[in-house]
Structure 1
Amino acid sequence: MALDTSEFKKTYVYEARAPVAEVLADLKTLGELDAWAERRRILMGIGSFVCVCLSISFLILSQWLLSAALFATSIALVILWTRSKHTDLENRRYGLVSTLLQRFQVDLDANAPVDVKLDLAPEDDARKCVGKLKRGRWDCEDFTDAWLSLHGRFADGTHLHLSVVEHFQKRKRYGRGSSGKMKLKTKRKGKTLLQVGLRVKPERFPGLASQAANAKKAVRLPQEVILSRLDVAQDRVAMRALLGRDGRDWVVRRTKPTSPSELVVLPPNDASRVVTMMLLSLYQVLGATHRQAPSPGRKQPPARGSR
């Protein structure tokens, strides 16, 4: 079933249980919707600027009514531009889901649907606020934005769960600048948590729980990513990682330089690569159970003193 854009615009939350191909088609539609919203806001900004310029020109020519009408139009366009901010979706979010689904599509069970919940509402939406407090002279607002939950099943029967949560804080205070005027100062800081989990049948991976002590040895993550939690149980493994540096500064995928001599400033976090490495690390933990298990039909060496 195709994406109902009118329903989506009510909450800006995309939720679906469908085959991968259908979800990818919906994400493409979201991208087109976002592109149109971006163009519309750009046109509003240009229109407002043009109206201000024309208003000043007609004011010089003593065309008072026309100048006032153009100025009012400019103000109206600015108000519309501000109110339409929520329609400009964050490209990274639906882009990350699309990239990961395309990357994992070959390994996912073709007959099993994926469950996706993607929250594209602004990160500082009122419903995401979890607390307001005052720290010194700063007025602070804390937000928790659990914007992605994805469930799927691989062809080998392993169940995948991926989630992304962003925690961030907005700060503001009024202070007197060097000129003596009162100014509003603002700050933002936050972090991004990625969690990947695999659920398996215990009989396929005997002794999985015993791998808990050595599981960290199998983890391979980029240097800037911090492993915050690793859980190993009889029927599941899960990993939580914290994106390093400014955790909210990430890209879907780093672009490769066009030539070896090209100077490239790499962003701190390549989110799709981090998720892929987390998933591969978890499969390394699962694989350790087979490496330690005795081969079928192989006799166990006799215990000492049994002879």
Structure 2
Amino acid sequence: MAIDFHQLRLERVYRATAPVRGLMADLDTIRGIDAELDRKLAAWSKGKRISGYLALAGFILAFIPVVGVAGFGLIPLALLSLLVCSLVASRYQKLDLENRRYELVARILQQLRKDIAPDEPVTVEVDFHPASDPRHLKDQGMVRDWKTQSFVQRWLSFQVRLLDGTLLRLGMEDRVQTRSRTRRNPRGKYKTKRKQKGVSLLHVQLRVKPERHPQLAGLQEQARKAVRLPKGASLARLDVAEDRLALRARMPHDWTLREDVKSPFCDGLRTTMMSLLSLYQVLNYSTGLRKQLPAKVSP
């Protein structure tokens, strides 16, 4: 599949339904686009810093009699360069794509590709808007003298039918709260203080045929015992029904994609795969119970 960069830049959402190889090619293209944007952002940010230094040098030179004229001539050029570099750098900053989001999808596909048929379509949607984007605002109010805003963003949707017939659904959700407070200090100046806290929620669901797992609905306790999560992640919810298993895990908002991280940091990929394996342990246990049932005798 060919990535429409213009559409991705406008919508900041990647949507696709394709086999694993097609999605991997798309994500590799997105990785290259993001790297190019990062290089341009770094170049224009460097130009902004240099322009600022030149403007400062111009002001200093302006007070030196011998080179004062040169200093006055340098100031407007440096300020104009500073303005242009700032505007362009700001534009590239807004186009930046959060690496963790597309890299998580790519690594999940790498882990699952042996369990997915080569031509099986995988449906993926990744939202690259920041979690605190106004479109994700859910609530706002006051806590003491703090103005609060709460945001909820479901930025990942992933669905595929695995080789064993199980329908896998994955989702990632960010919940962020921002706080701001403006006070006047003793010198009469107003100062605004800002805080932010958040959490990321991983959703994993397996849908199965009830006839293959007839006792699944009664395995709530076994399912809870089977859940194993890495340090930094915790179980938020577990649902067991006759045709599905669903798990929600809580992770720090600053989760990473590194296996060597230590608590309170958390590896997003490891949390995803351990959650999936935990649910599959329950399915395997249910399969074992079904095999222990006496075979039906034909009349």
Q: TM-score, normalised by structure 2?
A: 0.89
Pair 1:128 & 2:133 matched: no
Query: What residue is the counterpart of 1:227 in the other structure?
Result: 235
Structure 2 CA distance for aligned equivalents of residues 176 and 54 of structure 1:
35
Is the CA contact 1:249–1:267 (under 8 Å) kept in the aligned structure 2? no
Q: What letter matches 2:43 in structure 1?
A: L
Unaligned ranges ≥5, structure 1: 256-263, 301-307
Query: What residue is the counterpart of 2:267 in the other structure?
Result: 270
Query: What residue is the counterpart of 2:289 in the other structure?
Result: 292
Instruction: Summarize the Cα distance change of 1:229–1:56 in structure 2 as closer, same or farther, 3 Å threshold.
Output: closer
Q: How far 1:295 moved relative to its partner?
A: 4.2
**Between the two proteins, what is the percent identity of the paired residues?**
38
Q: Secondary structure of the equivalent of 2:258?
A: coil
Cα deviation 1:226-270 (Å, max 9, x = unaligned)? 211111111111111111xxx112112325xxxxxxxx8666201
Query: Which shows bigger deviation, 43-52 or 53-62?
Result: 53-62
Query: Which shows bigger deviation, 128-137 or 29-38?
Result: 128-137
Is the CA contact 2:55–2:79 (under 8 Å) kept in the aligned structure 1? yes
1:103 to 84, 99, 111: 111
Is the CA contact 1:110–1:155 (under 8 Å) kept in the aligned structure 2? no
Structure ranking higher in helix proportion = 2
Q: What letter matches 1:189 in structure 2?
A: K
Query: What residue is the counterpart of 2:279 in the other structure?
Result: 282
Pair 1:2 & 2:7 matched: no
Is the CA contact 1:149–1:164 (under 8 Å) kept in the aligned structure 2? yes
Q: Within 5 A, what are the aligned runs for 1:29-108?
A: 29-59=29-59, 60=61, 61=67, 62-63=69-70, 64-108=72-116
Structure 1 CA distance for aligned equivalents of residues 262 and 219 of structure 2:
39
1:239 to 223, 237, 247: 247
Instruction: Summarize the Cα distance change of 1:68–1:299 in structure 2 as closer, same or farther, 3 Å threshold.
Output: closer
Instruction: Summarize the Cα distance change of 1:265–1:291 in structure 2 as closer, same or farther, 3 Å threshold.
Output: closer
Aligned residues: 289
Q: How far 1:81 moved relative to its partner?
A: 2.0
Cα deviation 1:173-228 (Å, max 9, x = unaligned)? 12356877432211010111101000111122222112124321111112432211
Instruction: Summarize the Cα distance change of 1:32–1:106 in structure 2 as closer, same or farther, 3 Å threshold.
Output: same
The CA RMSD measured in Å over matched residues stands at 2.2
Q: Secondary structure of the equivalent of 1:78?
A: helix
Instruction: Summarize the Cα distance change of 1:81–1:230 in structure 2 as closer, same or farther, 3 Å threshold.
Output: same
Pair 1:253 & 2:261 matched: no
Cα deviation 1:154-189 (Å, max 9, x = unaligned)? 111111000000000111112356877432211010
Structure 1 CA distance for aligned equivalents of residues 196 and 122 of structure 2:
34
Query: What residue is the counterpart of 2:199 in the other structure?
Result: 191
Is the CA contact 2:40–2:92 (under 8 Å) kept in the aligned structure 1? no
Cα deviation 1:33-73 (Å, max 9, x = unaligned)? 11111111111111112122223334413232442122122
Query: What residue is the counterpart of 1:15 in the other structure?
Result: 15
Is the CA contact 2:231–2:266 (under 8 Å) kept in the aligned structure 1? no
Query: Which shows bigger deviation, 124-133 or 61-70?
Result: 61-70
Pair 1:154 & 2:162 matched: yes
Unaligned ranges ≥5, structure 2: 62-66
1:169 to 145, 162, 177: 177
Structure 2 CA distance for aligned equivalents of residues 294 and 101 of structure 1:
32
Is the CA contact 2:215–2:242 (under 8 Å) kept in the aligned structure 1? yes
Is the CA contact 1:15–1:118 (under 8 Å) kept in the aligned structure 2? yes
Query: What residue is the counterpart of 1:258 in the other structure?
Result: none
Q: Secondary structure of the equivalent of 2:115?
A: coil
Pair 1:218 & 2:223 matched: no
Structure 1 CA distance for aligned equivalents of residues 264 and 26 of structure 2:
28
Structure 1 CA distance for aligned equivalents of residues 180 and 295 of structure 2:
68
Query: What residue is the counterpart of 2:126 in the other structure?
Result: 118
